[in-house]
Amino acid sequence: MGEDIVPGTGKRRLGVMGGTFDPIHHGHLVAASEVAARFHLDEVVFVPAGQPWQKSHKQVSPAEDRYLMTVIATASNPQFSVSRIDIDRGGKTYTIDTLRELAEANPDTDLFFITGADALSQILSWRNTEELFSLAHFIGVTRPGHALADPGLPQGGVSLVEVPALAISSTDCRARVERGDPVWYLVPDGVVRYISKRALYRSGPGEESQA
Ligand SMILES: Nc1ncnc2c1ncn2[C@@H]1O[C@H](COP(=O)(O)OP(=O)(O)OP(=O)(O)O)[C@@H](O)[C@H]1O
Ligand SMILES: O=C(O)c1ccc[n+]([C@@H]2O[C@H](COP(=O)([O-])O)[C@@H](O)[C@H]2O)c1
């Protein structure tokens, strides 16, 4: 695992890290950083989902909050950027739309879609998988508690990569904030502050605390 570096084509190499990012945490950032180094990516664009349709049974924070937390978390890394395309498109978020738009906006660029082991295992349930796999190379990364395996992508369509194991999830971060437990060092400091300022993940509206 991790030796399977896709050969260079001479084109720009753009990583795409899609997620709900409610909130963004160090597991996301380490995965993107590790893949960027391993695959010699020029940039990684984080793309917060507008309406994550497979999470429609769950409550998801407003897109603007998730977008701003993603900007705060990535601001200090010159290789990282954030795109609003999935938020501004409106409606349910499908990665096929994300990749079509990114491919059109970035000619002469190879796209690498980064996904954790849990998301990768569900990928055949995503919309338009055949075209999806022709638009980007998929990179599945290890995540504690989830088995990493190729779920049946076309030959050469996915690389499986071991990244430093961080047993952090957005679900756990939200639950910790709700209980009044700290999320320091699970999410970037600025995100801790933002959660507190906006009183996200609290049952009582407007409640202030140190997150
Ligand atoms: N700790 C982690 N290590 C590696 N990959 C991760 C980790 N956490 C999330 N990812 C991956 O990052 C992408 C975006 O994840 P997402 O925003 O849904 O976070 P999450 O922690 O899984 O959230 P939730 O707990 O709310 O489902 C997915 O591909 C997911 O598999
Ligand atoms: O395209 C789809 O049908 C699809 C279904 C589920 C998830 N995704 C994308 O997968 C990424 C991770 O999703 P999530 O729900 O784990 O945050 C994010 O970019 C989602 O938009 C995409």
Regarding an ipTM greater than 0.95, the answer is yes
Q: Assess whether the C-beta atom of 35 lies below 6 angstroms from ligand 1.
A: no
Nearest CA to ligand 2 atom 13: 19
Between the CA of 53 and the centroid of ligand 2 the distance, in Å, is 8
- Say how far residue 181 (Cα) sits from the centre of its chain: 24
- At 156-177, the pLDDT tens digits run 999 999 999 999 999 999 999 9
For the CA of 33, the nearest ligand: 1
* pLDDT at position 205: 45
Report which protein residue has its CA nearest ligand 1's atom 22. Answer: 169
Smallest-distance ligand from the CA of 124: 2
Residue 122, helix vs strand vs coil: coil
Ligand 1 close to Cβ of residue 211 (< 6 A): no
Per the CB < 8 A criterion, the answer to whether 90 and 84 are in contact is no
Q: Look at the pTM and tell me if it is higher than 0.90.
A: yes
CA of 5 to the centre of ligand 1 (A): 23
- Three-state DSSP at 73 gives helix
How far is residue 187's CA from residue 168's CA, in Å, rounded to a whole number? 9
In whole angstroms, what is the distance from residue 209 CA to residue 211 CA?
5
At 57 the pLDDT is 86
- How far, in Å, from the CA of 52 to the mean position of ligand 2? 6
Percent of the chain topping pLDDT 70 = 94
- Tokens 């664009």 belong to 45
CA separation for the pair 140, 158 (Å, rounded) = 7
Instruction: Tell me how far the alpha carbon of residue 118 lies from the centroid of ligand 2, in angstroms.
Output: 11
Q: How far is the CA of 10 from the centre of ligand 1 (A)?
A: 30
pLDDT at residue 211 above 50? no
> Which residues, at least 6 apart from 108, have a Cβ–Cβ distance to it below 8 Å?
11, 12
Please say whether the beta carbons of 2 and 38 come within 8 A.
yes
Asked if pLDDT for residue 26 goes beyond 60, the answer is yes
Residue range 24-40: mean pLDDT, rounded: 98
